[in-house]
Amino acid sequence: MLADLEELVTCESYSADHAALARSGQVVAAQGSRLLGAPPRTLVIEGVTHLQWGFGTPRVLLLGHHDTVWPTGSIRTLPWSVEQGVARGPGVFDMKAGLVQMFHALASLPSLDGLCVLVTGDEETGSATSRPLIEDIARQCSATLVLEPSAPGGALKTGRKGVSGYDITVHGRAAHSGLEPEKGVNAATELACQILALQNVADTVIASTGPGTTVTPTVMRAGTSNNTVPARAELSVDVRVPDPAAQEAVDRLIRALEPQFPGARLQIDGGPNRPPLAPGASRALFELAAEQAARLGLGPLRQAAVGGASDGNYTAGAGCPTLDGLGAVGDGAHAEHEHVITATMPARARLLAHLLGALR
pLDDT tens, 267-299? 999 999 999 998 899 999 999 999 999 999 998
Domain boundary, last residue among 274, 305, 328: 274
Last residue of a domain, one of 257, 274, 291: 274
Asked if 294 and 277 count as a contact pair (C-beta separation under 8 A), the reply is no
Nearest residue to 266 via CA among 203, 194, 175, 217:
194
Does residue 345 have a cis peptide bond before it, meaning omega lies within 30 degrees of 0?
no
Shared domain check, 199 and 68 = no
pLDDT, one tens digit per residue, over 112-162 is 999 999 999 999 999 999 999 999 999 999 999 999 999 999 999 999 999
Count of domains in the chain? 2
Mean pLDDT of 98-106: 98
Contact in structure between 121 and 39 (CB atoms under 8 Å): no
Residue 9 three-state SS: helix
**What is the per-residue pLDDT for 299?**
84
- Rounded to an integer, the average pLDDT of 58-80 is 98
Distances in Å between the Cα of 327 and the Cα atoms of 19, 109, 110, 187 are 26, 18, 21, 46
**Whole-number average pLDDT of the chain:** 97
| Structural domain of 229 | 162-274
pLDDT of residue 48: 98
Co-location of 155 and 50 in the same domain: yes
First-residue to last-residue Cα distance in the chain = 25
Instruction: Decide if pLDDT at 360 tops 90.
Output: no
Half-sphere exposure of 126 (CA within 13 A, CB side): 10
Task: Give the per-residue pLDDT at 348.
Answer: 98
pLDDT tens sequence across 156-179: 999 999 999 999 999 999 999 999
State whether 297 and 348 are in the same domain. Answer: yes
pLDDT in tens, 244-264: 999 999 999 999 999 999 999
- For the segment 97-113, the average pLDDT, to the nearest whole number, is 98
